């Protein structure tokens, strides 16, 4: 090297390499965080879309509920309390039965502090289901596939609208109230599904458009 020419000393070279390595690590970290946020956002969007679709499907099934009984003059096939509901509908989640009626069951399951809403369905055959309808353990669904509707919630509750008609045959708001369970030999006017997550409550009300 000629006298007067500038050059890196060993110390300067080490400092330059250290700075370069630090910059590479920072860029790499930023890229990884970016991808992580994108993935997290995609999962959130997917979960949000799934829950919205599940809510719409639930409302469609409730609105198309059928008033079927165990026989002439006998109990209407409907069960409901704060933890579960069972009813008859022509809408199937599996979409493999074609025309026909389905017996569906929505029920709450707990996993530690979290609650999920599960779903099962079975094709409705009056002669086969009559004796099993009153079974509190719902053994008629033992061979049915379980589907998780909502998951990771703090609370999931059902309520049932009991609305009476006035002397003119119209529903009377003054004689209407929401019940925690349903024991009438009829269908409720509407079903309310209340879900709680991260301290926030969300209510979904589905009117029962009784189909015969």
The residue extents of the domains of the chain are: 53-207
* Cβ contacts of 101 within 8 Å, gap of 6 or more: 66, 68, 88, 89, 90, 123, 124
Measured between its terminal Cα atoms, the distance across the chain in Å is 101
Q: pLDDT at position 111, please?
A: 86
CA 119, distance to chain mean position in Å, is: 9
pLDDT for 160 equals 96
| Residue entry with tokens 């061979």 | 143
CA distance 80 to 158: 8
Residue (of 140, 113, 110) closest to 125 by Cα position: 140
Residue 38's pLDDT is what? 44
In order along its 212 residues, the chain shows pLDDT tens digits of 455 445 556 666 667 666 766 665 555 545 445 544 444 545 545 666 778 888 888 999 999 999 888 766 678 889 999 999 999 999 888 766 566 888 999 999 998 889 999 999 988 877 665 566 666 667 788 888 898 888 889 999 999 998 776 666 555 555 678 999 998 888 999 999 999 988 889 999 999 987 55
> How far apart, in whole angstroms, are the C-alpha atoms of residue 211 and residue 168?
22
The model's pTM is: 0.72
Task: Yes or no: say if 92 and 102 are a contact pair by the CB < 8 Å rule.
Answer: yes
Asked if 108 contacts 156 with a C-beta cutoff of 8 angstroms, the reply is yes
Contact of 131 with 54, CB cutoff 8 Å = no
Residue 91: count other Cβ atoms within 10 Å of its Cβ. 16
User: What pLDDT is stored for residue 1 in this prediction?
Assistant: 47
């Amino acid at each position: 090297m000629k006298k007067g020419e500038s050059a890196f000393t060993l110390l300067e070279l080490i400092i330059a390499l250290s700075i370069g390595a630090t910059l590479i690590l920072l860029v790499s970290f930023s890229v990884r965080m970016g991808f992580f946020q994108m993935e997290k956002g995609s999962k959130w969007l997917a979960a949000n879309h799934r829950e919205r679709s599940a809510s719409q499907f639930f409302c469609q099934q409730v609105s198309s509920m059928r008033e079927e009984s165990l026989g002439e003059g006998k109990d209407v096939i409907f069960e409901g309390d704060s933890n579960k509901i069972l009813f008859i509908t022509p809408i199937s989640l599996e979409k493999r039965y074609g025309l026909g009626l389905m017996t569906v069951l929505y029920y709450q399951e707990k996993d530690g502090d979290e609650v999920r809403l599960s779903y099962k369905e079975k094709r409705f055959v009056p002669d086969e289901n009559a004796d099993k309808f009153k079974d509190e353990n719902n053994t008629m669904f033992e061979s049915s596939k379980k589907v998780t509707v909502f998951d990771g919630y703090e609370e999931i509750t059902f309520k049932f609208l009991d609305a009476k008609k006035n002397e003119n045959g119209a529903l009377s708001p003054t004689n209407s109230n929401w019940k925690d369970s349903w024991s009438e030999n009829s269908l409720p006017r509407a079903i309310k599904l209340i879900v709680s997550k991260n301290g926030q409550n969300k209510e979904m009300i589905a009117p029962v458009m009784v189909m015969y």
